[in-house]
Amino acid sequence: MRVIFFLLVTLLSQAAFAVSIDSARLWPAPDNTRLVLDLSGPVEHRVFVLQNPSRVVVDISNARLSANLSSLDLNNSGISRIRSALREGGDLRVVLDLSADLTPRSFSLKPNEQYGHRLVLDLERPPGLAMEPEERQVTRRASDLNEQRRNIVIAIDAGHGGEDPGAIGRNLVEKNVVLAIARELYNQLNEIPGYEPFLIRTGDYYLSLQRRRELARQNNADLFVSIHADAFTTPQPSGISVFALSTRGATSAMAQFLANSENEADVIGGIYGISLQDKDEVLRSVLVDLSMTATLRTSMDIGTSVLNEMKQVARPHKTNVEQAGFAVLRSPDVPSILVETGFISNARDEANLGSAAHRRQLATAVRTGIVNWFGRNPPPGTLIAWQQRNANETRRYTVVRGDTLSAIAARNGTSVNRLREINQLDGTAIRVGQVILIPGA
């Protein structure tokens, strides 16, 4: 009887102290799929891969499953099925049957203001097999850089995403607000001939700060714009801000606070504030590479142009472009700015950011600031530079109701093909209010 009693007490103790997996979330992204398990406490685990068929196995020590893993939406995840079973000794085994070639990486996250303990499993797609969403397909190639009428490429980065919510207000979450603004900015820039925007993050998923920079450089961006809506420890700070990188120190205590907050996003990636791959390379680029001096100067100038436009929409937190060590801006050869669209921790700013009309105005201001600067300083070989060189030979015409491209060509003694060429039109369709260039005789 004593033996039986001892065994019962032991089993009950193990059950009582077993960590519970209370819920799960799946975040499919173009480069990877992330599975997050919410835990009642910290756990030990190990991950290994099995072949024929391809499976990823996660063994979690002394754990029990309360979440319903079968309810997860596996579409576009590379996972065909998730199974689980208790093993002898009280460990939990979770098996992911794969439908794609994925490489696992796992780590634990400590509690934050939104979640408790978490176990994170990243299933990474091999290089070259990442899914590219439409908004991230840039037609410009490295071999196109010498073309005389290429587009100006703008990388638009919506901060945070997926397991990283960013700032959390009473009614809003930063990752959702900034993605809405980024999409609006994308749509507006995409309507302007000579500009080719693309979104760094196209949905609700996590990207490391390093990966965001890499995507901008891989697509030969002329400008990287990171959009945020941060928070402070008190509700008083408010207003919009524009930041550029600083290699020496922040220009204000608030700038340093915001940079520290944004840089902590890499903790969500299991990096814990340190780049695993390019730390030495980026440090050398930032501190030594002479090209960084010109990049920083350009970033400050573009930032000033954007801030001047944003001041017409919202009250500025600081009247000048500030600088701090934002990791996401550390690209040595791509001018980069970070736009703070307001403080979610401030009731007035949060109410404004919750308005679609206000978000549209903010996007318009950022767009105008970008277009104004590049209009004055077009990169060589771009359509904008070509148009400026030929400005004396062209004039602008606004399309009215009843116009057709052939009629406009006939009235101005030119050809439809010439109009299509000078305006970079794919076809002959035009719309009322569209501004087109008319070549001189």
* Rounded distance between C-alpha atoms, residue 175 and residue 161, angstroms: 5
- Whether 185 and 359 have beta carbons less than 8 Å apart is answered as no
How is residue 194 annotated by DSSP? T
Domain spanning 390-439: CATH 3.30.70.60: no
Residues 6 or more apart whose CB falls under 8 angstroms from that of 170 comprise 347, 350
Strands 152-158 and 223-228 come out as parallel
Strands 195-199 and 152-158 come out as parallel
Return the pLDDT at 59: 94
| CATH number attached to the domain at 19-124 | 2.60.40.3500
Interhelix angle 279-287/291-310, nearest 10 degrees: 80
* Rounded distance between C-alpha atoms, residue 317 and residue 343, angstroms: 10
Return the pLDDT at 13: 44
Hey, what amino acid is at 215?
A: L
């030979």: which residue's tokens? 393
Return the domain boundaries, the chain: 19-124, 134-376, 390-439
Hey, what amino acid is at 416?
A: V
CATH number for domain 134-376, candidates 3.20.20.80, 3.40.50.2020, 3.40.630.40, 3.40.50.1970: 3.40.630.40
- Whether 36 and 120 have beta carbons less than 8 Å apart is answered as yes
pLDDT digits (tens, 9 = 90+) for 307-366: 999 999 999 998 999 887 777 777 778 899 999 999 999 999 999 999 999 999 999 999
Successive 10-residue mean pLDDT values, the chain, 441 residues: 46 60 92 92 93 93 92 92 89 92 88 86 78 57 56 96 90 96 96 94 90 91 94 90 78 61 59 42 46 79 95 92 78 87 94 96 96 92 83 78 88 86 84 84 53
* Rounded distance between C-alpha atoms, residue 239 and residue 368, angstroms: 19
Return the pLDDT at 112: 78
Q: What does the block give as tokens for 117?
A: 């303990």
Q: Can you spell out the DSSP letters for 55-122?
A: EEEEEETTEEE-S-GGGS--TTTTEEEEEEEE-TTS-EEEEEEESS--EEEEEEE---SS--EEEEEE
* Beta bridge partners of residue 395, listed in sequence order: 438
Q: What does the block give as tokens for 268?
A: 């969500």
Nearest to 220 by CA among 165, 162, 152: 152
* Rounded distance between C-alpha atoms, residue 308 and residue 32, angstroms: 38
Alpha-carbon Rg for the chain, nearest whole angstrom, is 26
Other beta carbons within 10 angstroms of residue 426's beta carbon come to 6
